[in-house]
Amino acid sequence: MASQHDVSPPAGRLPLDGVRILDFTRFQQGPMATAMLADMGADVIKIEEPGRGELSRRLWSESDGFSAFFEALDRGKRSLTLDLRQPEAKEIVYALVRRVDVVAENFRRGTMERLGFSYERLRQENPRLIYASASGFGPKGPHADRPAYDVIGLAMSGIMVASGGGPGHPPRQPFAGLADATGAMLFAYGIMLALFVRERFGIGQQIDVSLLGGQLFLQAPDVLYNLRYGHDVPHRGRRRNQPTFGDYETQRPGEYLVLASLDPRQWPTICRILGLPALAENPRYRNGHLRQKHADELEPLLEQAFRTRPREEWIALFNAEGIPCGPVYDYHEVAEDPQTRANEYIVPVRHPRYGDLRVVGVPVQLSETPGRVAGVAPEVGEHTEAVLGELGYTPERIAALRERGVI
């Protein structure tokens, strides 16, 4: 029999069981966050346009109609179609708000207000509501009302100049979707903070997470260095941070590994493994500062040495000495790696239309209440009747709403 202090969750429970989210978000920043919460048990009701659904259903799609973009970011949710311009649709939203814990949106600032769904209006229906906005630039300032996508968040944060090599060099996107993905993780974090505060103090609140703010936080050490010294960190724009911290091609052309040594005590061992013991005694390379200073002459020597063995041999040799070293993978290779499979970072799912798929799993692992891939992405309006039925709508009334184009 459990003791009075035993607060273990019932078997099979998920961390967010019972949490309900009304999801107005589109594209990536918002949908990725709510998908993360769905994987942890939240009931996410996604609002979509009747008929066509969200535009991202047609992104990253080939001839079979499968959208990797939508499938990855909207899995495990329920789809409710509503024409939000119609009064009856607004009444459905208000009824849902009275039942949910969170409203999530990433419209251009002012859109929710024009629809009649401002925080002030919705909190009248539910004073404990958490109203979560994923924005481009934050809720204040001269750019707050501007439209934004991922690439604009990257551009305004400085990361495109930093990734392109600094002033005088063309800017470069480090990775398409980076601002959205960073924003999504912070958005989910903000929602969880607000849920925690509500459990402690009983209050709802409004939160905002922006593309710009997320990218600045991502670059915090680089930004601080620049603001303190007036220029970027010395390795900015180089292929490697320093000769012992970056990628090298191995014996097989096109095959790379990454050496990641920051401990100066490892330099002699690195030289020995590479068959270059004389470098360890060379005064021009005796410390990290000098190795960085003379990188243009040192790195070609290391590159030549790395091309004498295949990748797996180098990785075994360095890791045997406790020196971090790993492979540079493409997506196929990382999916096949036993480490990826052992931790369920890639997992199989069965899609009713597209058959067997392998999808990205849950990155946060909890010992007692683990999450799971919540399911596949819904068809447009797949759960409209079910959601409205939960609100007490009869089949006849639902049919009438469909006839008038409300749903």
User: Which of 79, 69, 57 has its CA nearest to residue 359?
Assistant: 69
- DSSP 8-state assignment for residue 168: T
Interstrand relation of 205-210 and 355-360 (parallel, antiparallel or unpaired) = unpaired
Interstrand relation of 130-135 and 43-48 (parallel, antiparallel or unpaired) = unpaired
Which 3-state string (H, E, C) describes 241-290?
Answer: CECCEEEEECCCCCCEEEEECCCHHHHHHHHHHCCCHHHHHCHHHCCHHH
Half-sphere exposure of 256 (CA within 13 A, CB side): 9
Answer for the pair 373, 347: CB distance below 8 angstroms, yes or no: yes
Ramachandran bin of 230, using left for φ above 0, alpha for ψ from -120 to 50, beta for the remaining angles:
left
User: Which of 12, 31, 73, 46 has its CA nearest to residue 372?
Assistant: 12
**Cα–Cα distance between 269 and 301 in angstroms, integer?**
16
180: annotated active-site residue: yes
- DSSP 8-state assignment for residue 363: S
**Cα–Cα distance between 24 and 77 in angstroms, integer?**
12
Per-position b or e across 29-64, b if 16+ CB within 10 A of its CB: bbbbbbbbbbbbbbbbbbbbebeebbebbeeeeeee
Neighbours of 207 (CB within 10 A): 21
Catalytic residue among 43, 180, 208, 232: 180
Tokens of 308: 């004498």
**Cα–Cα distance between 76 and 107 in angstroms, integer?**
22
Answer for the pair 358, 347: CB distance below 8 angstroms, yes or no: yes
Q: Which residues are catalytic?
A: 180
